[in-house]
Structure 1
Amino acid sequence: MQKIVFYSAQPYDIRFFEKENSSFGYELEFFDVQLRSHTVQLAEGADVVCIFVNDHCHAGIIEKLAAQGVKLIALRCAGFNNVDVAAAAAHGIGVVRVPAYSPQAVAEHAVALMMTLNRKTHKAYNRVREQNFALNGLLGFDVFGKTVGVVGTGNIGQAFAKIMLGFGCKVLAFDVVANKDLEALGVTYTNLPDMFATADIISLHCPLMDSTRHMINETTLATMKKGVMLINTSRGGLVDTKAAIHALKNGQLGSLGIDVYEQEEKLFFRDLSGDIIQDDTIQRLMSFPNVIITAHQAFFTQEALTQISNVTLENVQAFFNGELRNQVKI
């Protein structure tokens, strides 16, 4: 029986993977710690390690995994920027991922961030609980008729764009290749400078690579429409956080909704309610009334977790049958 060791395992990971594994029959072992140099030994005896977005899988760790007999790195997420794919290939270790898991889940969460920022429902909820029924300070705007920029039109970006079309928005999109189906629905593909200059709302749905890191920075923020709303449910490294803070302070950035953060691996998926958080940058972000932060929960739906578990185990099964399904290539 092949053994899969899970890192960064949360109670919901255990529940969903154990349920789906009833159809596969693998030996599963779960650890709540992240994959790091000092935790790599926990994979001793495993055929597969299953990791998440904040686990480290650089060349040194991969070398140790190979020495322990690990044959496959199975990402239970779409992103793979935390894995040295070339090092894995050099050590004969396959790398697979879950390229699409309920893209609607992430797209709908982006919309939730957008609508909460706009209509300030989080503030209204707290006010009413304190018997304050005043409307001052809760003014929003009609999303209908606004121009929405979608950066990246993969599965999630497509889902988000379609929702925005349903709101009656003018939707602009940017990607390396235009999606003909979206164009047929009324989406207009454009370049980033034109999008930044005209969009009232911008939502990021692209992977984190060298070419996209800090694509939202001091220079690009300055070219955006004053008061723009920015939503990021993709990867924290797409946004230069300090530049975003500066733009929030001077009003260039009207509001910010993020489900991801550059330094999230030290914070997210943990209960730190009793701790003093040492990250001054996120503390500053949380101080703004026009910023909403959620802790990488955009994927967190029943449908998505079921699909993540099933596709991950199918990837493992295919590997042991001599096939690399959903392979991450160099």
Structure 2
Amino acid sequence: MIGRKIIRLFGGRMLVIALPIPLSLIGQYNNKMNKKDFEVIIIGGSYAGLSTAMALGRSLRETLVIDAGKPCNRQTPHSHNFLTQDGSTPKEISEIAKSQVAKYDSVKFYNGLAVSGKKIKKGFQITTSSGDIFTGKKLVFATGIKDIMPDINGFSQCWGISVVHCPYCHGYEIRNKKTAIIANGERAFHLATLINNLTQDITIITSEKKDFEENQLKKLKQHTIQIIEKEVSSIEHTNGQLKSIVFKDGSAASFECAYASIPFEQSSNIPNELGCEFTESGHIEVNFMQKTTEEGIFACGDNSTMMRSVSMAVSSGNITGAMVNHELTQENF
């Protein structure tokens, strides 16, 4: 059943707009499905996974999307820098995407967590936390990453709201504000070069002794970017909106927003179990076709690139779907 919204126009005419299909009413979202064998299993049902699924659905490939429903950007109030969806919430984009992918009968959805995987004669076997087992000829990891929050009180509550990672995703919305960069060395300098075009009030907080080259320090000074070599103790905020940064020596400085560079880990350990190799930065290693180092396994989205955005996830997922279909076509033709 599709929801409808009726808008009355001038002259008495009415416009009927179809709304996204509620997930509870979509038959494909049935964990009690009888089908267990698929051509492709996609682990992760956010932007990259759904983009992969759409390409495969349009190619009539029997595809299963396994998703635990916990995207890393679920706290972010709005998504930006993505054509046609600029300013939408992550949830809105996801629900529209799911309703569109669900129209392709060959794509099925499983709500749950994939916990283990192994290679079998005809491809791969995936087991979920509920004990359900599925097999697929090809395997796609669209599992994303987990941000590792620092031991700073208030940081996680502000993450994705007023403490952000990317000027392309969030910079316009926090332009001209008093801005902190919580990072050091090359990463801090890189962020400063990008943010300098968005605000003239920038302070770098290194949390330890500053680690910049002489030419970098000269550049920062030229742009009146201050450096504070103090360790952050907590962030004072109101509903995720940063008010001030408190340091371990008891002092504090007022800010309206901050950029931060924090570590991450893979959301799923299954790629490691199956022998996939990783880059020095911790991403799953893929080639230009999104193929991992293991035959028959692909990866897309945040788990395999430093370019972390909704648009990049959708793009890499679309490429993945096409490449997976190409491999299946070559093997079956």
Structure having the larger proportion of residues in strand? 2
- TM-score (structure 1 length as normaliser): 0.32
The structure number with the bigger radius of gyration is 2
Structure having the larger proportion of residues in helix? 1
